[in-house]
Amino acid sequence: MSTEVHRCQVLVIGSGPGGSVTAWTLAAKGKDVLLVEEGPNLPLGSCPPFSIEELRQKYRSGGMNPALGKPTIPFVEARCAGGGSEINSGMYHRIPIEVLGVWRKKFQAQHLEMEHLLPHFEACESALCVQLNPGKPPGAATKMRTGADAMGWKSKEIPRWFKYEKEPLDSKDHSGRRQSMTETLIPRAMAFGCRFMTSVRAEQLRPKNKHWELKAERAGVPISIFADAVFLCCGALQSPALLRRSGIRKNIGNSLALHPTIKVVAFFPDEINAGCADVAPQQVTEFAPRVCMGCSISTLPYISLAMSSHRKAKPDACRDWRRAAIYYAMIMGPNTGTVRNVPFAKDPLVRYSLGKNHFELLGTSLRDLCRLLFAAGATELYPGIAGCSPLKTEGDLRHIPPILPPDSTDLMTIHLFSSCVMGEARDICAVDSFGKVHGHQNLFVNDASLLCTAPGVNPQGSIMAIARRNALHFANGL
């Protein structure tokens, strides 16, 4: 079978927020850009959000991915044009200033002061219509705000990359559409001349005559792509996996971080759940960035899944689910994960471990979240701990161990990063302060992999701002 050959000035691998920003920025600067994506190109509305159909269409392995450890932590990874922007709730944060300070000090990451990043945050926010919802907040959000106010804790509505109708369709709600990468930056990059290829699996990179060659395949057809420069934007797992398959391993895939998250199902005396497949954008910021509390998807299937630890004691969810919502406590996890390729397997092996202090912090955070929910009027709480009795009063919080037991605590995560950290501390960093892989010319990482630690907030705003900064630095030849 003959090999399909393509050539470009800049090859961008991966079309999630990092890759789309990179392609858009470089194409706008007149570069000859080829953007490739492993997953299919599906419109945002090809399936209902947070549905089984979406899991099958747009998630890697149908959403069934484990970070092995004690406990094993399930995570999700997008595999489609637009990456994670197509499957998430579109919540947007700027990176906390104190986190940037840690990155500058420990990792010697340069030009990461907020004044340097601010123009890039603002450009991405404008492009994606980042804003608050002008409509009435959902019931789950109202309960979280009520509880936070009762506790005297800071909370706020989180802006999202949504475009809302100018006028509500009824007296209460404004209709909105998520401004994912397939809705915004990918079409804009293509308008500047960027070429876009989907269903292309990147296998290996190798230097060739001062250029780079990507060995890939699409529908069984081998592909070679020759480029002057390459930006890896495949995500915190696939970017290090591709580098390691290519023989580039120094500090690659050795420092994965994530946000370990524990959930609670709360039942209230009144109906708060309208059955909408969305995330209420209210978060408690009192303990940020070390701990974040918020609302999760609360459709009936998700409520049933979140209560799987309480098979013997759970109420009739099918009857009472409109009185229920799912809430979470999320902590900044350590850089203790690894990403390794396995012979004859397409996807890498992911390992992750937590220490006693992290299980203690999770326990404290879970108790604080439960106190807030009782203050908001909850009548029953079902935390993600197997064998834990339902909590019906604040006095029942004694049933939550001070240090959560690893063998019976149900954790999950949707945020992974830090597998190829950036900075000038070469003993621990894989890439420099602008994403260039140490020891290699014109090879860059420009996605969640280069964030130095867990940021404590949804990372996509930070990923996009840093990706734009790095792409402009490259385009300007600095």
> Which pairing describes strands 416-417 and 257-258: parallel, antiparallel, or unpaired?
antiparallel
User: How far is the C-alpha of 50 from the C-alpha of 62, rounded, in Å?
Assistant: 12
The structure tokens listed for 94 are 């700027």
What's the mean pLDDT in 273-281?
Answer: 88
pLDDT digits (tens, 9 = 90+) for 154-192: 999 999 999 987 665 554 555 688 999 999 999 999 999
Catalytic residue among 93, 120, 415, 438: 415
Domains of the chain: 1-63+78-128+180-255+417-478 (3.50.50.60), 135-178+260-413 (3.30.410)
* pLDDT classification of 307: cutoffs 50, 70, 90: confident
pLDDT, position 168? 57
Instruction: Decide if 17 contacts 40 (C-beta within 8 A).
Output: no
- Collapsing DSSP to helix, strand or coil, 205 comes out as strand
* pLDDT classification of 121: cutoffs 50, 70, 90: very high
Share of the chain above pLDDT 90, in %: 85
| DSSP state letters, 326-380 | EEEEEE---S-BEEE--TT-SSPEEE----HHHHHHHHHHHHHHHHHHHHTT-SE
Torsional sign, CA 456, 461, 464, 468: negative
pLDDT, position 237? 98
What's the mean pLDDT in 109-117?
Answer: 96
Share of the chain above pLDDT 70, in %: 96
- Tell me the pTM: 0.95
What's the mean pLDDT in 110-120?
Answer: 96
pLDDT digits (tens, 9 = 90+) for 310-355: 776 656 666 888 999 999 999 999 999 999 999 989 999 999 999 9
Torsional sign, CA 368, 279, 338, 332: negative
Diameter of the chain measured on Cα atoms: 70
pLDDT, position 310? 79
**Statement: residue 203 has pLDDT above 70:** yes
What's the mean pLDDT in 457-470?
Answer: 97
Lowest mean pLDDT of 226-230, 238-242, 299-303, name the range: 299-303
**Statement: residue 30 has pLDDT above 90:** yes
* Residue 385: closest CA among 369, 368, 366: 366
What's the mean pLDDT in 221-232?
Answer: 98
Lowest mean pLDDT of 47-56, 414-423, 447-456, name the range: 47-56
Computed over every residue of the chain, the mean pLDDT equals: 94
User: How far is the C-alpha of 215 from the C-alpha of 224, rounded, in Å?
Assistant: 5
Lowest mean pLDDT of 109-118, 167-176, 307-316, 353-362, name the range: 167-176
**Statement: residue 98 has pLDDT above 60:** yes
User: How far is the C-alpha of 333 from the C-alpha of 291, rounded, in Å?
Assistant: 10
120 is catalytic: no
| DSSP state letters, 77-104 | -B-STTGGGGTS--B--PPPHHHHHHHH
